[in-house]
A and B are shown apart, each in its own frame.
Chain A
């Protein structure tokens, strides 16, 4: 039991970025745009935060540096997500293709920038990342909590959320009710980029000391899985992110459990993907996904 309680901080550390990204992905899909670029956008945010923090640290910036770095990461994620928004919303492009393009681009762009800035295929190491509080929690855990609550209020308690959901279910009906589908979808993609960038920064500032091409390592895709497994609701996505994060945490601290020690760590790594796949099969037929997700919206064509 004590071991489990001691696990809580590290579980939260791992869950927070996945949850933040997944909530962004959920909002994006609820508006009708599928964003498989989450992985790439997290990389962009992680690199930006790491590079900014290292440079500010070297310049003698104090404790505020991590927060500015985090904000810059989020901003960069939002900026890059606009490529996806422009392609998917304004040009009716295939959303999977433009998402794949951003993922490929992010791998190249981050390491390219590292080569230019630091003459290496990674950012320089920073001395001090985010600090834990008295309970051993990183601030990212609280940020994730705020993001979940705000997303719930936004989606279900505000007119904007109702409009956003309408865009994802039946954009033509939404448009005829006077809702600006294009604008709402742009905002939704922007939010997902912002949150993915923020989460990328959270990964790098709490879990490592530098950005490498391996830093994000599938977390964006786990977040994407959490959106499906969580059935596109804030509560469901939170539950999914916790299950996945717990599995990831187990792979790291499995040595503390004599009963599980003999299992290869890959068993835990595989869990999120396997659970999601199984869930998609079990829940097949009942369509929880937003109806218009992934379909380009052409004005007046219905």
Chain B
């Protein structure tokens, strides 16, 4: 759709506004659903307020621990959001965030349990290894797409499950592994931050926050300020035009999928080294990768948008147990998230509506 640059964008054409409307619509439908099953939707919002501010409206008490947990929960959502968003900018649909997250988590916990316990270096090695592993897992998708024309939608779904079962096989071999966990991590591998713990009443908030801030800045910088980002975006807009202007499309696709994977791999490392004291033998998916798709869509693949959307999802996740204790089935948050994605899909209808209105305007203008 071509837009005149001087033309002032109408209210509904601003991406941010549409995202906001979509989110509000999701909450509206969620609220109606809660009403329909005979529960009080106010309790849902009380839980959300408590997750966001730490303030319990019913008891009039403030506990800053909730703020810390919300921020901590937001971390993997934001990073998996970037994973999806980065690929989306080159026109690829990365459903593989989940697999890249799992691979990152598994490698991080392996390095944490087996690596040299040097203070200050050990955790960095674990995180770096996870980022590389995630990049590798994403890069496979890129190579399959660029060289063999394998649809990234299918290949990422396959790689998610391959990652899940590979992770189980590897984790079973780690020290002290039973059916669901391994030995405890040495202190040198953890991302624990004593200061954060003190100011948030011992929440799980950890050094991962710094890594996320770096990731946000890096994402913004690569996308908006470098020629790599320009090449990637150009590939996304028009592959043939990009090819003709000398942008290496094949390499662009592989690079961007690798970078996308790196973000998700980092998320895996931060979750396992920051919020767990031991390695995990996972039996299912954490769904951060899948929710990252929603986060990126709500955030319009922009650095700020994805961050805000990730915070929203973090709030919802932290509000889940608070809802359950207030007689609201906690799965309402999943329904709201699902609805948001469905509404984003329906958003294309908005463009159809605008086109229809424009043609109508032109027609009526001609008649007058």
State the CA gap A92–B157 with chains docked (Å): 23
Interface residues of B in 317-368 (CB under 8 A from A): 329, 331-349, 352
Do A97 and B335 have beta carbons less than 8 Å apart?
A: no
Supposing A93-B346, A221-B157 touch, asked if A280 and B144 sit within 8 A by C-beta, the answer is yes
Do A115 and B169 have beta carbons less than 8 Å apart?
A: no
Q: A103 at the A/B interface (Cβ < 8 Å)?
A: yes
State the CA gap A107–B333 with chains docked (Å): 11
Minimum Cβ distance to chain A for residue B14 (Å): 20
Do A273 and B339 have beta carbons less than 8 Å apart?
A: no
Taking CB atoms, residues of chain A closer than 8 Å to B166 are 266, 270
Total A-B pairs, Cβ < 8 A = 159
Q: A63 at the A/B interface (Cβ < 8 Å)?
A: no
State the CA gap A112–B54 with chains docked (Å): 25
Known: A100-B294, A264-B168, A280-B154. 7 other contacts (CB 8 A): A36-B95, A87-B342, A94-B93, A101-B343, A107-B287, A214-B284, A221-B158
State the CA gap A217–B329 with chains docked (Å): 22
Nearest B residue to A222 by beta-carbon distance?
A: B161
Do B329 and A111 have beta carbons less than 8 Å apart?
A: yes
Nearest B residue to A115 by beta-carbon distance?
A: B329
Do A277 and B338 have beta carbons less than 8 Å apart?
A: no
Supposing A266-B165, A277-B158 touch, asked if A93 and B37 sit within 8 A by C-beta, the answer is no
Do A273 and B338 have beta carbons less than 8 Å apart?
A: no
Do A270 and B172 have beta carbons less than 8 Å apart?
A: no
A-side residues, CB < 8 A to B, are: 34, 36, 83, 86-88, 90-94, 96-98, 100-109, 111-112, 115-116, 121, 214, 217-218, 221, 224-225, 228, 264, 266-267, 269-270, 272-274, 276-277, 280-281, 284-285, 296
Supposing A111-B329, A270-B165, A273-B162 touch, asked if A91 and B344 sit within 8 A by C-beta, the answer is no
Taking CB atoms, residues of chain A closer than 8 Å to B148 are 280-281, 284-285
Q: In the complex, which of the residues A218, A269, A273 has the most CB atoms of chain B within 10 Å of its own CB atom?
A: A273
Taking CB atoms, residues of chain B closer than 8 Å to A217 are 284
State the CA gap A221–B155 with chains docked (Å): 11
Nearest A residue to B330 by beta-carbon distance?
A: A115
Please classify how large the interface on chain B is, using the bins under 10, 10 to 19, 20 to 34, 35 or more. Answer: 35 or more
Minimum Cβ distance to chain B for residue A271 (Å): 9
**Chain B 143-174: CB-based contact to A (< 8 A → 1; otherwise 0):** 01000111101110111111001101100100
Taking CB atoms, residues of chain A closer than 8 Å to B33 are 112
Do A104 and B290 have beta carbons less than 8 Å apart?
A: yes
Nearest A residue to B36 by beta-carbon distance?
A: A116
Minimum Cβ distance to chain B for residue A283 (Å): 9
Taking CB atoms, residues of chain B closer than 8 Å to A88 are 345
Taking CB atoms, residues of chain A closer than 8 Å to B348 are 87, 91-94, 296
Do B95 and A96 have beta carbons less than 8 Å apart?
A: yes
Do A276 and B154 have beta carbons less than 8 Å apart?
A: yes
The listed residue (A96, A98, A109, A280) touching B155 by CB distance below 8 A is: A280
State the CA gap A296–B341 with chains docked (Å): 18
The listed residue (B162, B335, B337, B352) touching A112 by CB distance below 8 A is: B335
Minimum Cβ distance to chain A for residue B17 (Å): 19
The listed residue (B154, B172, B290, B332) touching A103 by CB distance below 8 A is: B290
Q: B297 at the A/B interface (Cβ < 8 Å)?
A: yes
State the CA gap A91–B165 with chains docked (Å): 38
Taking CB atoms, residues of chain A closer than 8 Å to B342 are 83, 87, 98, 101-102, 105
Q: B203 at the A/B interface (Cβ < 8 Å)?
A: no
The listed residue (B155, B335, B345, B352) touching A108 by CB distance below 8 A is: B335
Do B331 and A108 have beta carbons less than 8 Å apart?
A: yes
Q: B300 at the A/B interface (Cβ < 8 Å)?
A: no
Taking CB atoms, residues of chain A closer than 8 Å to B161 are 218, 221, 269-270, 272-273
Do A100 and B349 have beta carbons less than 8 Å apart?
A: no
**Chain B 114-157: CB-based contact to A (< 8 A → 1; otherwise 0):** 00000000000000000000000000000010001111011101
State the CA gap A115–B323 with chains docked (Å): 13
Do A108 and B337 have beta carbons less than 8 Å apart?
A: yes
Nearest B residue to A285 by beta-carbon distance?
A: B149
Nearest A residue to B353 by beta-carbon distance?
A: A91
Minimum Cβ distance to chain A for residue B321 (Å): 13
Taking CB atoms, residues of chain B closer than 8 Å to A218 are 161
Q: B291 at the A/B interface (Cβ < 8 Å)?
A: yes
Contact sample, A vs B, 20 pairs, CB 8 Å cutoff:
A86-B346, A87-B349, A91-B349, A96-B95, A97-B293, A97-B341, A100-B293, A104-B337, A104-B338, A105-B334, A107-B287, A108-B336, A112-B33, A221-B160, A225-B154, A266-B169, A269-B161, A269-B165, A277-B162, A281-B148
Taking CB atoms, residues of chain B closer than 8 Å to A214 are 284
Supposing A214-B284, A277-B162, A280-B148 touch, asked if A109 and B338 sit within 8 A by C-beta, the answer is yes
Taking CB atoms, residues of chain B closer than 8 Å to A109 are 331, 335, 338
Do B335 and A276 have beta carbons less than 8 Å apart?
A: no
State the CA gap A214–B282 with chains docked (Å): 13
Taking CB atoms, residues of chain B closer than 8 Å to A115 are 329, 331
Taking CB atoms, residues of chain A closer than 8 Å to B340 are 101
Do A224 and B329 have beta carbons less than 8 Å apart?
A: no
Do B345 and A277 have beta carbons less than 8 Å apart?
A: no
Minimum Cβ distance to chain B for residue A164 (Å): 21
Taking CB atoms, residues of chain A closer than 8 Å to B332 are 108, 112
